[in-house]
Structure 1
Amino acid sequence: MTKTLKGALLLSVLACAAHAEDVTLTIESWRNDDLKIWQDEIIPAFEAEHPGITLKFTPSAPAEYNAILNSKLDAGSAGDIITCRPFDASLALYDGGKLADLSDLPGMANFSDVAKSAWITDDGQHPFCVPMGAVIHGFIYNKEIFAELGLEEPKTVAEFHDVLAKIKEDGSYIPMAMGTNDQWEAATMGYQNIGPTYWKGEEGRTGLIEGKAKLDDPAFTEVLSELATWGDYMGDGFEAQTYPDSQNLFTLGRAAIYPAGSWEVSGFNGLADFEMGAFPPPVKAEGDTCYISDHTDIGIGMNAASAHPEEAKVFLDWVASPEFSKIFANALPGFYPLASEPVEITDPLAAEFASWRDECQSTIRSSYQILSRGTPNLENELWNASANVIRGTESPEDAAKRLQEGLSSWYDKQK
């Protein structure tokens, strides 16, 4: 009887172990250029410590992610783990019952209130995504081209235009690799990159939320006026140029400057065979305060309908750990961990972006908190408006007026 009981217990344990090994957590993400890093570094590190759980990283194209994810969530086919956009898009998912409350996740104690602010309810009581990383905006450039043409990093807008004009005049390279086909990069790497310089970072961003500033005020219109000059330097056919096209033009050495987010660092390191540098958004005049978009960019949460909630929380708690932060910061240089414990950044280009935090005032993208909750959605409207002014199909003044009319049509503080 004893041997029989022991045998039954052993079979039960083995059955449980076999069942545990069958648990696969599927991760939804828009970072499709990070697939190899997840597969080669992040996933193996987690699975080595948690042999009962397998991770499957299944990204979508950035511009299509929101629509694809919403469709999957509505159909009940979304993965267990949901990579979270900051602020309103993810808050809407939580409010709609699509993201789980993570208030009881022990690892949330590793983050400051500021770090959690992009993925928590307005009352500050219910976090729904673990903060993963911030990204910093600026410009990446080809140091070899700059040396060949005798160029230096521009500090002011006037110097920036002088550099672009000299590259165009030489004719050997496209001055700036960016297209308008996908629209989102015109807003993200254009409007939100240089915009804080004009609207003075948090002053302008919070001014919009409080109703003290308008999207057609001179400070905001001036950003669009600056973007309207970019088309002259983006090469022939930029109107049909996609985001991957722009990445390829730069990494193949055919373009001198790339309007960027620091998220490009890890991918560019593996593709470019030349030395790269980076400079922050130029100031309007020498001596002006420098502003950077230092954006709470990416979090990660749990599908409220996951069939494996306990395993999903094990993974999320690991993401909240110092161990993950160290892997994340250096496996994905250009993404800056949001956990309270500092992490040394070894990649020189990623470290260059991070160094601007000591020189410049930090802010986040202007449309992400509260201002994209209504219809028309300000974030999506900025995509279109930014692309239009670069293409020359809409004037900066008309675009700014349209943006303001859209926001004031539903946001009470802007009426």
Structure 2
Amino acid sequence: MRRFRVQGYVSVVLSLLLVLAGCSGGSGSTPSASDQSGGQTASPGSSGGGGSGGGTGGEKVTVSMHSWRVEDTEGYKKIIAAFEKENPNIKIEFKPFKATEYNTILNTALQSESGPDILQLRPYAPGVSLAEAGHLEPLDNLPGIQNFPKDVLAAATAKDGKVYGVPLSLNSTQIYYNKKLFEQHGLKEPSSWDELISTAKTLKEKGIVPFAFGAKEGWLLSLSHGVIAPGTYNGNGFVEKIVKGEADFKSPEFLKSIQRMKELVPYFPDNFVGLDLNDTRTMFFTEKAAMFINGSFELEGIQKMNPDLALDFFPMPTEDGKKVLTTWVDGSYAVNSKAKHKQEALKFLEFMATQQFGELFANEFKRISAIPGVKTSDPLVNKMAELSASSSTPYLMVVYFAEGKPTTKQTLENDLQGMYLEKMTPEQVVEDVQNSAASWFPGFKK
């Protein structure tokens, strides 16, 4: 297997004082456009964020930029202002969409050749498929792109070997918890699955919702499973086997991970099947629930919503007595191959590959920048970075199983929803996920 080497990269970044960074939203269908030409990389300016930049004959040009991160709007205003200050003839118009609607809106626009100049790519297969459909400009000659490690660029590298996106961040996903509630009831971070269940039972007996959890949005279920599952299969050893085709999803370890997802049901809120991210996030930051399974990309929002929250997190305890943090390279930004203002769009992406952008991004959003050498002072960000370096495992469904029609990731999400609605058993979920992967995954076709 081409091992997920972000651990080594993060170690390097840590030595320079890392910073934290995703997604998260669900993955959707990708287009199969008739135009298969990738195009040639235009030669962007070499000034990074500086220089006069922008516009033909001094005219001001407005570059459209789309994203699925509505919650990042205010932060991007500050970042974009720094670019526009040094490039007064270029105006960046940041327009985000609801995460669950973004894929459909973007695909429709690209197919009708009315897409934005700059677009945010989902990581790995969903984003790469846009390049393979001819919608993206190759970025191999973009100044600064060579500074990213190859394993980080892999999240936006197509089968033709070309890079089509500037990576934003490294994400982790873990269990956040309310330290005040834990301390009030004599609880500590669990070091095993049994301790986690015991902690949840104690909280429930005290009238506190143990987990802020909802099953309305499928992507939250695969993300939560991405936290729970490595505890049953002890992280990377199983990942290596399954990617090589030496194990499959019908293995006892994977089945146990689905069973554990069901075992948690008594500790979820009432009517959890109808709750979405906003519901569960609110439940956690208003201190009505003690724990919250989610990504590093939620950290900044939670802290803003309740600056007084005694917030911490813990990685997943494994069967062999260790702990593991699930990690992956988050989305990147790409240039539309049919962009109206391609040169100006490339200039902004050149800025996104600089230390200046990395530091603005990391400090504004409290996430690990994908750019080496970026610094932050947030202790939780540093804790996530340290664990990412020492105890990480890849988010299996995003990094390796986000292909198929529907994708194997989507199949898992749909089936977990079915399980929570009492329409499927864990055994049926496992069977369905394996059948999905076997229909396309090379490791299962030997």
TM-score, scaled relative to structure 2:
0.83
Determine the structure 1 residue equivalent to 2:385: 354
- How far residue 358 of structure 1 moved from its aligned partner, in angstroms, is 4.4
Partner secondary structure for residue 259 of structure 1: strand
- Say if 2:375 is the partner of 1:344: yes
Query: Which residue of structure 1 aligns with residue 101 of structure 2?
Result: 64
Preserved CA contact (<8 Å) 1:115 1:339: no
1:126 partnered with 2:167: no
* Pairing of 1:292-303 with structure 2 (within 5 A): 292-303=325-336
For the 8 Å contact 2:303–2:309, the answer to whether it is kept is no
What is the correspondence of 1:230-245 to structure 2 with a 5 Å cutoff?
Answer: 230-245=264-279
Cα distance in 2, alignment partners of residues 391 and 234 from structure 1: 14
For residues 81 and 291 of structure 1, the distance between their equivalents in structure 2, rounded to whole angstroms, comes to 35
Alignment of 1:21-36 (within 5 A): 21=60, 23-36=61-74
User: 2:315 aligns to what?
Assistant: 280
CA contact (8 A) 2:233 2:318 kept: no
Higher relative contact order (CA 8 A, sep 6+): 2
Percent identity over the alignment? 28
Distance 1:393 1:148 in 2: 38
Which residues in structure 2 correspond to 1:310-389 (within 5 Å)?
310-333=343-366, 335-340=367-372, 342-360=373-391, 362-369=392-399, 371-389=401-419
Unpaired runs of 5+ in structure 1? 1-12
How far apart, CA to CA, are the structure 2 residues paired with 1:230 and 1:304? Answer: 46
Please, which moves more after superposition, 301-310 or 44-53? 44-53
Partner SS, residue 331 of structure 2: strand
Equivalent residue letter for 2:294: A
Residue among 177, 190, 205 paired with 1:141: 177
Counterpart residue identity of residue 403, structure 1:
V
CA separation of 1:121 and 1:233: change in aligned 2, threshold 3 A: same
Residues 231-275 of structure 1: per-residue CA shift (max 9 Å, x gap): 211111111001111111111111110001110011111001322
Q: Quick one: distance in 1 between partners of 2:382 and 2:242?
A: 32
Moved more, 231-240 or 141-150: 141-150
1:15: how far off?
8.4
Q: State the Cα distance separating 1:204 from its structure 2 match.
A: 2.8
Correspondence 1:80-159 to 2 at 5 A:
80-122=117-159, 125-159=161-195
Partner AA of 2:127 in structure 1: S
Cα shift at 1:304:
1.0
Unaligned runs of 5+ in 2: 1-53
| Match in the other structure for 1:249 | 283
Report the equivalent of 1:177.
212
Could you tell which deviates more after superposition, 199-208 or 261-270?
Answer: 199-208
The separation in 1 between residues aligned to 2:387 and 2:431, in whole angstroms, is: 33
Corresponding residue of 1:221: 255
- Give the 3-state SS of the residue equivalent to 2:265 in structure 1: helix
Rounded Cα–Cα distance in structure 2 between residues aligned with 1:396 and 1:36: 42
Q: Structure 2: which amino acid aligns with 1:179?
A: G
Summarize the Cα distance change of 1:233–1:214 in structure 2 as closer, same or farther, 3 Å threshold: same
* CA positional deviation for 1:390: 4.0
Find the counterpart in structure 2 of residue 307 from structure 1: 340
> Would the aligned equivalents of 1:47 and 1:54 in 2 still touch at CA under 8 Å?
yes
Q: Which residue of 2 aligns with 1:6?
A: none
CA distance in 2 between partners of 1:109 and 1:240 (Å):
45
Q: How far 1:179 sits from its partner (Å)?
A: 0.2
1:290/1:359 contact within 8 Å kept = no
Matches of 2:55 and 2:409 in 1, distance apart? 51
1:98-156: CA deviation from partner (whole Å, max 9, x where unpaired):
11111110110111111111111235x31000111011111111122112222111121
Amino acid in the other structure paired with 1:154: P
RMSD of equivalent CA atoms:
1.9
How many residues align structurally? 391
Letter in 1 for 2:343: E
Structure having the higher helix fraction is 1
**Distance in 1 between the 2:211 and 2:55 partners?**
59
> Partner letter of residue 126 of structure 2?
A
CA distance in 1, matches of 2:136, 2:240: 27
**Higher alpha-carbon deviation: 27-36 or 310-319:** 27-36
Deviation at 1:78, TM superposition (A): 1.9
Q: Quick one: structure 1 residues 175 and 203, their matched pair in 2 at CA, closer, same or farther if it must change by over 3 Å?
A: same
Q: Which amino acid aligns with 1:338?
A: A
Partner residue in 2 for 1:409: 439
Q: Partners in 2 of 1:356 and 1:122 — Cα distance?
A: 31
Taking structure 1 as the reference length, the TM-score comes to 0.89
Query: For the Cα contact (< 8 Å) 1:296–1:364, is it kept in 2?
Result: no
Q: What's the counterpart of residue 192 of structure 1?
A: 226
Q: Summarize deviations over 1:163-188 as a string: whole Å, max 9, x none.
A: 111110111x2110010011210111
Q: Which residue of 2 aligns with 1:10?
A: none
Distance 1:375 1:266 in 2: 34
User: Once the 2 structures are TM-superposed, how far is the Cα of residue 359 of structure 1 from its aligned partner?
Assistant: 3.9
Once the 2 structures are TM-superposed, how far is the Cα of residue 393 of structure 1 from its aligned partner?
A: 3.1
Structure 1 residues 15 and 276 mapped into 2: Cα distance closer, same or farther (>3 Å)? closer
Structure 1 contact 278–352 (Cα < 8 Å) conserved: no
Distance in 1 of aligned mates of 2:220 and 2:272: 12
Give distance in 2, aligned partners of 1:170 and 1:343.
43
What does residue 75 of structure 1 align with?
112
What is the letter of the counterpart of residue 258 of structure 1? F
Separation in structure 2 between the aligned mates of residue 15 and residue 205 of structure 1, nearest angstrom: 51
Cα distance in 1, alignment partners of residues 266 and 379 from structure 2 = 31
Cα contact 2:55–2:90 (8 A) shared by 1 = no
- Which residue of structure 2 aligns with residue 4 of structure 1? none
CA contact 1:229–1:390 (8 Å) conserved in 2: no
